[in-house]
Amino acid sequence: MKILLLYPEFPDTFWSFKHALKFIRKRASTPPLGLLTVAAMLPSHWEKRLVDLNVRKLNDKDLAWADYAFVSAMVVQRESTRQVITRCKAAGLKVVAGGPLFSAEYIQFENVDHFILNEAEVTLPPFLRDLEQGRARRDYTSNEFPDIRQTPAPLWELADLKHYATMSVQYSRGCPFDCEFCNITALFGHRPRVKTAGQIIRELDGLYQLGWRESVFFVDDNLMGNKRHLKEKLLPALIEWRKGIAGMPFNTEISINLADDEKLMNLMAQAGFTTVFIGVETPDEDSLAECNKTQNRHRDLVADVKRIQRAGLQVQGGFIIGFDSDTPSIFQRQIDFIQKSGIVTAMVGLLQAPIGTRLYERLKREKRLVGAFSGDNVDGATNIIPKMSLETLQKGYRAVVGYLYAPKNYYARVKTFLKEYKPPKITIPFDFQYVGAFFRSIVQLGIVGKERLQYWNLFLWTLFRRPRLFPLAISFAIYGYHFRLVCDRHIL
């Protein structure tokens, strides 16, 4: 059996980093972790070929070679996914589909032959048995949450790693919190399930042996969902593993209550974590209560962010505008909070209601749903009828994003961060790609770009005040270029 593993193209979004990747001559941020893991679950004697459309084109020879096409996608890849499936069917190829897009919207894809929904550890094996016996059904679903200690390591050898900026591993699934707008608990449950420390070490060893030395993203939606296991098992194992290891800094997603545990922050920094994404959402207490973001309430959120930064962890933040409790004052409050906190990478989006969330069900009852969930966090779209007038909401949102990513304000935020950040001690191997990126930044940002004044100001300030952080400052300048292009083209 010949299996074509297809990953549709991402549009130009905040997290695609398409414009930033050009500086280091990479084609995509990360390879498709889900597809590579599914590949490891397929019979070992089957032939497998990965085509990531973010890296290369799907050609007719690929389609002629395969017996089946396995397609996985997220909601934001919806348009490309339809095109991919249409090409497969036109070539007479049977399509097997799974992943978040199909788990939420499989009814919209009539030309898919088989759906492997929910978690593949449960739904893929019965499909494979039925396929072997010639009686495969169309839909395979389950409410069971599998033990991911049995999940195999991804087949990294199927991906051409040189085209990617970051690799991904998954340590846990599930989240103990119950935010109204989030579909993670609907997909993976409230009880976090974790892999063993040994599994993670083997996955990292596999990447290291393939020559990988760049960053690794722990894709967990909340790394500290099972805090005890994280502190007592995984982090000590990572600290031991890192001895003698060059490079491979880690980043992940986590909740703001990380700021309450100084020991945990120190362990993460020792283990090699340099960046955490946190769903801050809003500085408004009423809106936090409305969406049941209990872990963020009754806090000095700016102080929490700075405490994490001083522990050696850069904080990236997610923010939402458009809660029922929001008034027009929220626009300036969000700006003030983000600028003061020094959160350089601030993802600000309008409230949307993904299928499967409590928010979706509430707004459905209130007849306040309109259109489809876009899956793009910063496109200025919403699929709900807000309490605030839609015109006021969208105008205020554009004002927030326009302010945050205007060069003067963005570079000021970079400085705010760099003044307090305590960088971890991780040896990054020398790589000519970053030398090239540096000189490209001088041309694109320091000579051609409209941010050239701010670029050179940051360049000289960092060089003389925080020289150790100079590479990070240049990276931020490049990220800012990407963020501004995305905002200018799709929002403003």
- Flag whether pLDDT at 429 surpasses 80: no
Report the distance separating Cα 95 and Cα 112, nearest Å: 5
- Flag whether pLDDT at 428 surpasses 80: no
* Nearby residues of 465 by Cβ (< 8 Å), 6 or more positions away: none
Residue type, position 204, single letter: L
Average pLDDT score over residue span 325-352: 98
The pLDDT of residue 408: 98
Report the distance separating Cα 20 and Cα 6, nearest Å: 24
Structure tokens at 392: 């006021």
The pLDDT of residue 464: 96
Report the distance separating Cα 158 and Cα 55, nearest Å: 13
Q: What's the chain's Rg over C-alpha atoms?
A: 22
> For the residues of 97-147, what is the DSSP string, one character each?
EESHHHHHHGGG-TT-SEEE-S-HHHHHHHHHHHHHTT---SEE-------
- Flag whether pLDDT at 363 surpasses 90: yes
Structure tokens at 27: 């084609």
Cβ-based neighbour number of residue 128 at 10 Å? 16
Phi then psi for 11, rounded to 5 degrees?
-70, 175
The pLDDT of residue 423: 86
The pLDDT of residue 185: 87
pLDDT tens for 287-332 read: 999 999 999 999 999 999 999 999 999 999 999 999 999 999 999 9
The answer to whether 287 touches 326, Cβ cutoff 8 Å, is yes
Q: Which of 257, 401, 410 is nearest to 343 (CA)?
A: 410
Report the distance separating Cα 8 and Cα 84, nearest Å: 7
pTM of the predicted structure, to 2 decimals: 0.96
Q: Give the pLDDT band (50/70/90) at residue 132.
A: very high
> Sheet harboring 167-169: ordered strands across?
167-169, 216-218, 250-254, 273-281, 314-321, 346-350
pLDDT tens for 248-301 read: 999 999 999 999 999 999 999 999 999 999 999 999 999 999 999 999 999 999
Report the distance separating Cα 15 and Cα 54, nearest Å: 13
Report the distance separating Cα 4 and Cα 326, nearest Å: 47
Pairing of strands 314-321, 273-281: parallel
When mean pLDDT is compared across 26-30, 351-355, 376-380, 478-482, the lowest value belongs to: 376-380
How large a percentage of the chain has pLDDT more than 90?
93
Structure tokens at 176: 């103990």
Residue type, position 288, single letter: L
Q: Which of 95, 138, 116, 94 is nearest to 8 (CA)?
A: 95
Cβ-based neighbour number of residue 64 at 10 Å? 10
Q: Which helix (H) or strand (E) holds 479?
A: helix 470-490
Report the distance separating Cα 18 and Cα 16, nearest Å: 5
How many CA within 13 A on the CB side of residue 7? 22
- Flag whether pLDDT at 245 surpasses 90: no
pLDDT tens for 151-193 read: 999 999 999 999 999 999 999 999 999 999 999 988 899 899 9
Residue 122's alpha-carbon distances to 168, 222, 382, in angstroms, are: 22, 22, 33
As a whole number of Å, the end-to-end CA separation of the chain is 49
Residue type, position 262, single letter: E
The pLDDT of residue 198: 98
Q: Give the pLDDT band (50/70/90) at residue 130.
A: very high
Burial (0-12, 13-18, 19+ Cβ within 10 Å), 409: middle
How many CA within 13 A on the CB side of residue 135? 4
Q: Give the pLDDT band (50/70/90) at residue 80.
A: very high
Q: Give the pLDDT band (50/70/90) at residue 92.
A: very high
- Flag whether pLDDT at 492 surpasses 90: no
The pLDDT of residue 491: 81
Q: Which of 68, 51, 70, 71 is nearest to 59 (CA)?
A: 51
pLDDT tens for 393-427 read: 999 999 999 999 999 999 999 999 999 898 887 76
